[in-house]
Structure 1
Amino acid sequence: MRWERPALAAVLLVATVLYAWGLDRAAIHPYYSAAIRSMATSWRAFFFGGLDPSGSITLDKLPGAFWPEAATVWLFGPHTWAAALPQVVEGVLTVWLLHRIVREWAGPFAALIAALTLTFTPVTVVLNRATIPDTALTLLLVAAAGALQKAVRTERLLPLITCGVWVGLAFQTKMLQAWLVLPVFAVVYQVAAPGTPLKRVLRLLLGGTTALVVSCAWVLLAWMTPAADRPYVDGTSNNNPFSQVFGYNGMSRFSDDPTAFGAVAGTSASRTDGNTGWGMLINHTIGPQVAWFLPLAVLAAVLGLVWRAREPRTDLLRAGFLLWGGWLAVHAMVFSTSNGNHPYYTAVIAPALAALTGGGLALFRSEYEAGTRRRVALPSAIVLTVAWALVLDWPTLFVSWLLVLAVPLAVGGALGLWICGPRASHLLLQGSLAAGIVATLLVPLGWAASSLDPLYAGASTSPTAGPVGKVYHKALHDRSALRQVGLDQPSDRDTALLDYLVSHRHGEKYLLATQAAYPAERLLRADSQPTLVMGGFTGKTPFPTSQQLGDLVTTHQLRYVLLTPRRPATPATTWVKSHCTRIRSRAYGWRTRGSFALYDCAGKH
């Protein structure tokens, strides 16, 4: 069709503008961006995900999602836009890839609707200007879904192996979350792929083995590397990468035991933001981020499976509804039963919602044109979606002026479809359908576009679109709450402290040690210097021990330590307070001490 390529090009252009707008002021994550700059300056830090250039301790995540960001910072320099650029590319690629996958499944009309829906999902817009792993996770899982779809369609083995590779690479970005799609993929392949049951099972085992091997490749390499030759693995009490993956970032999110599989105690509460339970996807915070097409997607999945129930086992259209409906259902169940979720976690379900929206409207359109009793589904779906938009926007009435446009368009489009019938003029039908589709997209587009204003973009640690979240409410009274972090943009206080430390450094390996990552982040973003991050992200990781810290001071590898009462005390911080001298803040150019205290350990061991 002639309109296809120009339409796709227009959607990709809009996605690029939305995701890249104000990239030089992107809300990069303070913790991850500090590691990104460090990884760009050291191969050891790059491979192992070291938080500082010396690679003394890792991130509390696997490093895969940050390799592209570190590469662009290495290539273009320590700029905020360079750190965020890969997120934009990954976001646009996801839109393009979803369009391609849905086109092969349900046709060009469905593909265009899916691409538009994904592009305008608010949580994807705010997330694609951040430095958070979920963007890469989503891209790789969509690629895996495309490979699975090809394997089901062609009966070839290579696409199934490719699917396993994509899932394994997704594991490198967000660990166990990447495996949530595997049960769905297995069911879809076993139910819909050609071949005998035994052949399908054997191929599934081969694809699953591929996913397992690729998933665990980095973890195995890190585990086999002697502890003295790699950073300490953050989030663990035993310096074991398997504990980080399956304990700290795994079981601790679903159990009452915060030390599961060697995880550091207390970490489960430090990383979560509430947002759990069966109403999580439609609450006043998460609902406007991702759920605009949730009723339509559920309706499409149910009707798609029911209406195609009598088709042959290998029916590809039904398989698609099973794939995307299963993706949505599994993630919704896991999020609802975890011990808390940041709103941006839900970005991974946006492709499923978009695919079901596109595929559902295409199915409803074909039934409408066939003139059967099922034709009522198309206008009903439009009205349902706009009515749901009113429900989601009602608590804030944030874009109520768009509802003034959306409601008449939806009513007019639906009435046109109901009254005219499939035998009406082509121009009238197309106009009614276009009006209805525009009506469904208007309100989520308003929320998505609002995030181009920092006031409506949420926190850099937890991006959210619109007038929700703690940062938004704080900014209403104090605009300084919107201050964003950036690479190579130190404050006057940071500059003064760095100048003092550099001028008083006499060959020590580390510029300083800090109590947890919180005090180190800002300094590492400003100037990537070897920094001993005691306690890791939460401050509770048992590294270094007080003995190790004392040895570093004794051997003149460390002199200064920066402590903060905002992180828990440890044996190492207790040792500092009893063996080192506290420096007056005016000595390093601070008029007030704030929440930090600098100690000099020279001559005190």
Structure 2
Amino acid sequence: MKSTASSQLRRRRRVSTVVHRGAVTATADLADAVDAPGLVARPRTPAWWPAVALSCLLVVTAALYLWNLPINGFGNAFYAAAAESGAKNWTAWFFGSLDPNNFITVDKPPAALWVTGLSVRVFGMNSWAVLVPQALMGVGAVAVLYATVRRTVADPTRGAIAGLIAGTILALTPAATLMFRYNNPDALLVLLMVAAAYFLTRAIPAASWRWLALVGGALGLAFLTKMLAGLMVLPAFGLAYLLFAPTNWWRRVLHLLGATVALVISAGWWVAIVQLWPAASRPYIGGSTNNTVLNLALGYNGVDRIVGGGNKVSHGHPSGWSTHAGVLRILSAEMGYEVSWLLPAVVIAIVAAVYLAVRRRLSRLEAAGFVTWTVWFVVCTVVFSYMTGMVHPYYTIALAPAAGALIGLAAVLSRSAAIAMVVAAAGWAIVLLNRAGLGPTWSRWVIGAAAVTAVALLIAALTKWPRLTPVALAISLFASLTGTAMFSVATAATPHTGSIPNAAHTADVWPTVGSRFAKTMMMGASSDTVDPQLAKLLSTTRTLWSAATSGSQAAASLEIASGTAVMAIGGWSSDPVPTLAQFVDDVHAGKITYFVESGRMRSHDRNGGEIADWVQQHYRPMKVGGATVYRLV
């Protein structure tokens, strides 16, 4: 019996050894393949280093996004005023009203304002309270993207490196630096979309309907942040789960239907409440033509953004502020500076992903990751390149997570792709730096020299001297990311105010950077433009609204400067409120003390023009700090 047991034990040990050697051999064979592993082999380094590296990345990201943040003042006064209103009145906070007396909402749903409104309520109305939440969202987005990409790769070391690369690219994309230091809704939008990608990465390998429901919940909140813009990634998530979840087709479809229900509930509860709330006792839904959220979602914040059209003319968005629609738009003018630094490398990453998939060198989750981020990137690129409605360069922040993830995954899974991406990224960075006239000329030579050195070291590390891998990786990142890092730092150093911020002010060469947007297009782009005399005058009023003025931007600036509620006639985009009759009734009821001329073009606002004409016919003007003011009571 002992002999038999001993023989069985020896047999088991031999089988274990064979299996272990087979695994090692398979790993070694994979490492020797031309296009299978990328920059690193299986590690012999301590397991704690990814946490240390991630901590350093997050500290640097926080420093970039928080550094000298008050130079932006209140950022976009339109949303800052709404945050202040929400801090004063819970109903205004819930609806996203521009003023605390709930005359009209902003032109977006209120999820982002819920965050900044709570911040202002706790810390008071100041620049830090308005802008810090977005900076923290940026740090959070980098951390979640790292976690998502790290979990995608089968090898833990390669996964950590891929995640660090992805997070670094997101942090250093100029559009991200711009928006994570600003109070537009895009900061929360990106955080929620990246969080949804993380939930998807957890859902796919386990075919988990619970994790997939969280994907729907996150995208529902993204809808409540910026409406249809939050759903652009939906095709990517649905396709990845449908193709790669390890269960039968019926269960995949059933799980996706469940996630759709979660999305509808997450996005629809607020829409339903607003729809059921009596219109007479809530603010007008700014941006809509019929005072409904669905009209706002499908019109002003939906189809009109993509193809233009509609009966409304958006004040403050004159034509000619973006390049013509086409495949090259994303590489040229302002968009090129804000997001295109690594796009040539992204194209190489997608090609590498296709090659690896055809050769069956990807795990299920790696393949799913490539599909997710590729479809995300392609859909957003096509939309931003060809949309003919209102399009602003900072929209392209939505591309940054996908670009980072694709480059990070390709860099660690394909050595040839890693080398090609270094060359592409460094070459395009030199072109953009030269075109923008940013930084000294020698910096472009340094980037070129670093790229050549990096390629040589990568080839050496991947053929004869693997110990050179850390040095090769470091120089590769330097060559690839120096250009976008320089522009991001310049962006952080540039003061930004108004509704349409751009990255950095550089040399006045074609395509110009900053010169098109540097000048204020109308009164009230910043609270600093409100004369102290006018602000003091409004602050002494006791009526429901201290004043009325044409346009939400002008009203927002007056609100912030005076600390009072101001009626925004016509809202942001020539909304049909109030009518002349309604305004006259409010004046006669003693609800408005002053009317302040804002300089808004009356041809863009019929109601506002009629009201201004009526005021001029019945009241005498007076000058207060350079502004024309009419006392109505």
Q: Fold conserved (TM > 0.5)?
A: yes
TM-score (norm 2): 0.85
Aligned 8 A contact 2:556 2:566 in 1: no
| 2:567 pairs with 1:526 | no
What's 1:552 paired with?
586
How much has 1:271 moved relative to structure 2? 8.8
What's 2:610 paired with?
574
User: Residue 335 of structure 2 is aligned with which of 276, 280, 286?
Assistant: 286
What secondary structure sits across from 1:520 in the alignment? helix
Residues 573, 268 of structure 1: alpha-carbon distance in 2 compared, 3 angstrom cutoff: closer
Aligned 8 A contact 2:85 2:98 in 1: yes
AA aligned to 1:4 is P
User: Residue 149 of structure 2 is aligned with which of 102, 108, 116?
Assistant: 102
What's 1:536 paired with?
571
Measured in 1, the distance between the counterparts of 2:470 and 2:205 equals 31
Measured in 2, the distance between the counterparts of 1:51 and 1:475 equals 24
Instruction: Tell me the alpha carbon deviations over residues 373-427 of structure 1, each in whole angstroms, 9 at most, x when there is no partner.
Output: xxx4332221222112122223123134322222111101212333x36342333
Name the larger-Rg structure: 2
What's 1:128 paired with?
180
| 2:494 pairs with 1:454 | yes
Aligned 8 A contact 1:515 1:563 in 2: yes
What's 1:473 paired with?
515
What's 1:380 paired with?
420
| 2:245 pairs with 1:198 | no
Range 216-225 or range 10-19, more displaced: 216-225
Question: Unaligned regions of 5+ residues in structure 1, if any?
Answer: 366-375
What's 1:410 paired with?
451
What secondary structure sits across from 2:548 in the alignment? strand
| 2:597 pairs with 1:563 | yes
Measured in 1, the distance between the counterparts of 2:565 and 2:437 equals 49
What's 1:274 paired with?
322
Counterparts of residues 156-171 of structure 1 (less than 5 Å): 156-171=208-223
Aligned 8 A contact 1:414 1:436 in 2: yes
AA aligned to 1:362 is V
How much has 1:143 moved relative to structure 2? 0.4
How much has 1:559 moved relative to structure 2? 3.4
User: Residue 50 of structure 1 is aligned with which of 76, 97, 111?
Assistant: 97
What's 1:179 paired with?
231
How much has 1:230 moved relative to structure 2? 0.5
Identity over the aligned pairs, expressed in percent? Answer: 30
Residues 344, 231 of structure 1: alpha-carbon distance in 2 compared, 3 angstrom cutoff: same
What's 1:369 paired with?
none
Residues 8, 42 of structure 1: alpha-carbon distance in 2 compared, 3 angstrom cutoff: same
What secondary structure sits across from 1:424 in the alignment? coil
AA aligned to 2:535 is L
Instruction: Tell me the alpha carbon deviations over residues 552-604 of structure 1, each in whole angstroms, 9 at most, x when there is no partner.
Output: 12222223212234232534542453355444434x3x2x44xxx322334xx
User: Residue 58 of structure 2 is aligned with which of 8, 12, 17?
Assistant: 12
Aligned 8 A contact 2:306 2:383 in 1: no
TM-score (norm 1): 0.88
Residues 288, 237 of structure 1: alpha-carbon distance in 2 compared, 3 angstrom cutoff: closer
What secondary structure sits across from 1:513 in the alignment? strand
What secondary structure sits across from 1:250 in the alignment? helix
AA aligned to 2:86 is M
How much has 1:466 moved relative to structure 2? 4.9
How much has 1:354 moved relative to structure 2? 0.4
User: Residue 152 of structure 1 is aligned with which of 204, 213, 232?
Assistant: 204
Residues 429, 501 of structure 1: alpha-carbon distance in 2 compared, 3 angstrom cutoff: closer
Instruction: Tell me the alpha carbon deviations over residues 117-174 of structure 1, each in whole angstroms, 9 at most, x when there is no partner.
Output: 1111111112111101111000000000111111101112110000000000111111
Q: How large is the Cα RMSD of the aligned pairs? A: 2.6
How much has 1:471 moved relative to structure 2? 7.8
Aligned 8 A contact 2:503 2:514 in 1: no
Measured in 2, the distance between the counterparts of 1:199 and 1:25 equals 52
| 2:75 pairs with 1:34 | no
Aligned 8 A contact 1:191 1:314 in 2: no
User: Residue 392 of structure 2 is aligned with which of 338, 342, 345?
Assistant: 342
What secondary structure sits across from 1:585 in the alignment? strand
How much has 1:274 moved relative to structure 2? 2.1
Instruction: Tell me the alpha carbon deviations over residues 331-361 of structure 1, each in whole angstroms, 9 at most, x when there is no partner.
Output: 0111122114211100011000001111110
Report the count of equivalent residues. Answer: 571
| 2:538 pairs with 1:497 | no
Residues 475, 575 of structure 1: alpha-carbon distance in 2 compared, 3 angstrom cutoff: closer
Aligned 8 A contact 2:558 2:566 in 1: no
| 2:543 pairs with 1:508 | yes
Question: Unaligned regions of 5+ residues in structure 2, if any?
Answer: 1-46, 154-158
What secondary structure sits across from 1:542 in the alignment? coil
| 2:397 pairs with 1:397 | no
Measured in 1, the distance between the counterparts of 2:539 and 2:131 equals 29
What's 2:481 paired with?
441
How much has 1:26 moved relative to structure 2? 2.5
Instruction: Tell me the alpha carbon deviations over residues 98-124 of structure 1, each in whole angstroms, 9 at most, x when there is no partner.
Output: 111111012111111111111111111
Residues 554, 151 of structure 1: alpha-carbon distance in 2 compared, 3 angstrom cutoff: same
AA aligned to 1:22 is N
